[in-house]
Chain A
Amino acid sequence: MFLRFLTKRLFYVIPMLFITTFIVFSFILLIPGDPALAILGENASDENLAQLRAQLGLDQSLFIQYWNWLTSALVGDLGESFFTGESVQEAVFSRMGITFQLVTTAIVIAFVFGTTLAIVSMMKPGSWIDEFARLVSTMGTAIPNFLLAMLLLAVFSLSLGWLPATGFISLFEDPIGFLRSVLLPSIALGAVGMAQITRHMRSALIEVFETDYIRTAFSKGLSIRQTIFHHGIRNAILPVVTTVGILYGNLMGATVVVETIFSIPGIGQLAVDSIMQRDFAMLQGVVLVMVVIIIVINFATDIIYSLLDPRIKYE
C-alpha cells in the first residue's frame, strides 16, 4: 500500500521536475539579445558571434538545447560560467552547503520558538504571554527580512559588538564560531517562519481542543497541561510539518537578501552575483539546484506527513 502511494507521488514529482527545469532553462530565451551577445558585448563582429553561438549550441532548436543541457545536468555537468570559466556545479555545490547550514539553523530556531510560543500561549489563554505570541505571529509576517537583518546587525554587531557582522564559519570547522556567525542571519531568515509556525500550531491546538475526545478528557479531570502534552502536540504537529516543508523553499529564496547583507558566500549571493553579471549559465545552475532541493524536500514532507497521520489513505 505504502509503496503504491510512494510510486504515485514519484509519478507526480518527475514530470514536475521536467517542467520546472524547462522553465529554468528558458530563462535564457528571455535575455534581450542572446548569451553570445552577453559574453562578447555589443561591439563583437557577426563572425565571432556566429562562432560562439555554434560553440554554445545556440544555433540549434530550443528543445535540442534543453535536451543537451538536461542530459549533461543529469550526469552532473552544469557547464561553465560565462565569465570566469569556473565550473558551475563546483561553484554551486561548494556554496550550497553554506546555505543549507544557514537555512536549517533558521528553521530549527523557527520551529523551537514557534512551537514553544504556541504551546505556552495555549496554556494560559489571555495572559500576557498569549498576547505576546499573537503580537509575534502578526509582526513576524510583516517585518521584511532585510529590515530585521539590518536592525540586528546595527544593534548586536555595530553597537554592542557581541557578534560578527559578516562572514561565515562552517559547523564542521568550528561549532562555536559557526553559531556566532550564523545566529543573526538565521534569526533574520527564520522570523517569518517562527510567526507562521506559531500561528499554525496555535490554530491547530485550538482545533484539537474543540474535538469530542479532548472534551471527554477535560471532563474526566485532565489538566490543560496534560491535555496539551498527551493529545494536543501529537495532533497539532501535523500542519507544522507541512509548514516546515514550505518554509525550506521560501527561506532558500530569502537567502538572496540575507546573505547579501551579512556577506555570507552562499548560493543566494551567487544568484545575485550571476544576475548582476548576466551570467546565465551560472544562474540556471543555481536555480536548478535550488528547485530540485525544494521539490525533494516537499516530496519528503508529503511522505513524512503520510507516515505521521494514519488517517491518510495510500491511494
Chain B
Amino acid sequence: MTGKEMLRRFMRQRAAFISGIFVVLLIVVALLAPWLAPYPPDLPNYDRVMAVPSLAHWLGTDELGRDVLSRLMYGAQAAIQAALIAIIIPLVIGVPLGILSGYLGGVFDEVFMRIVDGILAIPAILLALGITAALGVNLWNAMIAIGIVFTPQFARLARSQTLQIRSEAYVYAAKVSGAGAFWTMGKHIIPNISPPIIVQSSFNMSFAILVEASLSFLGLGAQSPQISWGGMIQQAYSLMYMNPWLILAPGVAIMLTMLAGNIMGDGLRVALDPKLKKV
C-alpha cells in the first residue's frame, strides 16, 4: 500500500478524520499560543475573579482573575510535549531492544522479556510516580518518567511483531542470500512492524496526556508558574467546594484530546492494515 492510499483510507473514516483535524489544530494552537492567546496566561485581574464566560473572557477567569482560555492554550503546549516525549523515549529505546530481542531469540530474549514482564507488573501510574519522585518533581521529569513507563510496552510489541516477521519466507531468503542481521532488521523488520507501532503510539500519546495530568494533579508534575491542564485541574480541585465548574475547561480539554487520540488510533489501525478491507 502506498502512503497516498493509506492517507485516503484514513480520511474515508469520518470520525478518525475529524479527530486527526482536531489533533492538528491542537498542535497549531500550542505552537501559536503566544500570538493566539487573548491575554498573557499569568496576568492576574483581581477585579474579575472567577468570572463566568463572557465576550471578554470566553471561558471565564480563574481564582486569580487569569483568563482560562489563554491558560488552556498554553497548557496545550505541555500536553503536546508530554505526548511527544512519552513516545520518543520508547521508540528510541524500547523498539530497538524489542526488535533485537525478537530477532536474536535465545537467552538474551528470555532474560529481556522476563525483565519487561517484571516492569509491566508495576501499575503504570505508580511507576511514573516513583520515577518522578526519584528524578525530582517538575513537569520535564514527569514527562521523562512517562516515557520510561511506556518503554517496556513498546519493547514487547516490537518483539512480538518481529517474531512474526522473522519467520516469513522473504526474511529467510534474505538470510540465505547472506544478508547481515542489521541489514535484515533495517530492510525487512522495521518497515513491516511499523504499522502496529504507529497505532500504539497514537493510543499512548493520549494515555500520556492522562498520566501527565494525573501526576500534575497529585502535585508531582507541573509546578507553578508552569502551565498544564493537570495543574489547572489541581488548582480547580482546591476550590472545588466553592466553584466546581472551574474543573470543566481543563477537564473537557483533556477528555477531547484523549478521545481524539483513541479514535485516531482506531482509524490508523484500519488505514494501515491492508487485511481490513471495510473502509
The B-contacting residues of A in range 5-35, CB under 8 angstroms, are 15-16, 19-20, 22-24, 27, 30-32
**B240 contacts A257, CB within 8 Å?**
no
**B122 contacts A20, CB within 8 Å?**
yes
Complex CA distance for A254 and B206, rounded to whole angstroms: 16
Q: Which A residues touch B218, using CB under 8 A?
A: 256-257, 260, 272
| CB closest chain-A residue, reference B242 | A158
**B220 contacts A275, CB within 8 Å?**
yes
The segment out of B45-53, B110-118, B182-190 that lies at the interface is: B110-118
The segment out of B34-42, B56-64, B126-134, B158-166 that lies at the interface is: B126-134
Complex CA distance for A275 and B255, rounded to whole angstroms: 27
Q: Given that A138-B262, A250-B123, A253-B125 are contacting pairs, would A19 and B233 also be in contact in the complex, using a CB cutoff of 8 Å?
A: no
**B219 contacts A276, CB within 8 Å?**
yes
Q: Given that A142-B262, A144-B254 are contacting pairs, would A158 and B244 also be in contact in the complex, using a CB cutoff of 8 Å?
A: yes
The B-contacting residues of A in range 103-160, CB under 8 angstroms, are 138-139, 141-144, 146-147, 150-151, 153-154, 158-159
Complex CA distance for A256 and B123, rounded to whole angstroms: 10
| CB closest chain-A residue, reference B116 | A19
Q: Which B residues touch A141, using CB under 8 A?
A: 258, 262
A contacts with B: majority SS: helix
A-B contact count (CB 8 A): 119
The answer to the question of B18 belonging to the interface, with a C-beta cut-off of 8 Å to chain A, is: no
Q: Given that A150-B247, A154-B244 are contacting pairs, would A16 and B122 also be in contact in the complex, using a CB cutoff of 8 Å?
A: no
**A147 contacts B121, CB within 8 Å?**
no
The answer to the question of B25 belonging to the interface, with a C-beta cut-off of 8 Å to chain A, is: no
Complex CA distance for A146 and B121, rounded to whole angstroms: 23
**A138 contacts B259, CB within 8 Å?**
yes
Complex CA distance for A15 and B121, rounded to whole angstroms: 13
| CB closest chain-B residue, reference A18 | B118
The B-contacting residues of A in range 277-311, CB under 8 angstroms, are 278, 283, 287, 290-291, 294-295, 298
Q: Given that A257-B218, A260-B218 are contacting pairs, would A144 and B126 also be in contact in the complex, using a CB cutoff of 8 Å?
A: no
Complex CA distance for A19 and B122, rounded to whole angstroms: 11
The answer to the question of A261 belonging to the interface, with a C-beta cut-off of 8 Å to chain B, is: yes
**A142 contacts B122, CB within 8 Å?**
no
The answer to the question of A249 belonging to the interface, with a C-beta cut-off of 8 Å to chain B, is: yes
The answer to the question of B204 belonging to the interface, with a C-beta cut-off of 8 Å to chain A, is: no
Q: Which B residues touch A151, using CB under 8 A?
A: 247, 251
* Interface residues on chain A, size class: 35 or more
Chain A 243-257 interface 0/1 with B at a Cβ cutoff of 8 Å (1 = within): 000000110111011
Complex CA distance for A158 and B126, rounded to whole angstroms: 29
* Interface residues on chain B, size class: 35 or more
Complex CA distance for A253 and B219, rounded to whole angstroms: 17
Contact of B126 among A139, A143, A146, A290 (CB under 8 A): A290
Q: Which A residues touch B134, using CB under 8 A?
A: 27, 30-32
The answer to the question of A271 belonging to the interface, with a C-beta cut-off of 8 Å to chain B, is: yes
B13 to chain A, nearest CB (A): 14
Q: Which B residues touch A143, using CB under 8 A?
A: 255, 258
| CB closest chain-B residue, reference A32 | B136
The A-contacting residues of B in range 233-260, CB under 8 angstroms, are 233, 237, 240-241, 244, 247, 251, 254-255, 258-259
Q: Which B residues touch A32, using CB under 8 A?
A: 134, 136
**A272 contacts B125, CB within 8 Å?**
no
**B214 contacts A16, CB within 8 Å?**
no
Q: Which A residues touch B146, using CB under 8 A?
A: none
**B123 contacts A19, CB within 8 Å?**
no
Q: Given that A158-B244, A257-B218 are contacting pairs, would A24 and B122 also be in contact in the complex, using a CB cutoff of 8 Å?
A: yes
Q: Given that A15-B114, A19-B114, A146-B214 are contacting pairs, would A295 and B255 also be in contact in the complex, using a CB cutoff of 8 Å?
A: no
**A20 contacts B118, CB within 8 Å?**
yes
A250 to chain B, nearest CB (A): 7
**A19 contacts B129, CB within 8 Å?**
no
| CB closest chain-B residue, reference A139 | B259
A293 to chain B, nearest CB (A): 10
| CB closest chain-B residue, reference A260 | B218
The answer to the question of B217 belonging to the interface, with a C-beta cut-off of 8 Å to chain A, is: yes
Q: Which A residues touch B198, using CB under 8 A?
A: none
Q: Given that A144-B251, A271-B129 are contacting pairs, would A138 and B263 also be in contact in the complex, using a CB cutoff of 8 Å?
A: yes
Q: Which A residues touch B135, using CB under 8 A?
A: 30
A199 to chain B, nearest CB (A): 11
| CB closest chain-A residue, reference B119 | A23
A-B contact pairs, 11 of them (CB 8 A): A15-B114, A144-B255, A153-B240, A154-B240, A250-B123, A252-B123, A257-B125, A257-B214, A283-B130, A287-B122, A291-B121
If A16-B117, A158-B244 are given as contacts, then 15 extra A-B residue pairs at C-beta distance below 8 Å, sorted by A number, are A15-B114, A27-B134, A30-B134, A138-B262, A142-B255, A146-B213, A147-B255, A150-B244, A158-B240, A249-B121, A254-B123, A256-B125, A257-B125, A272-B129, A290-B122
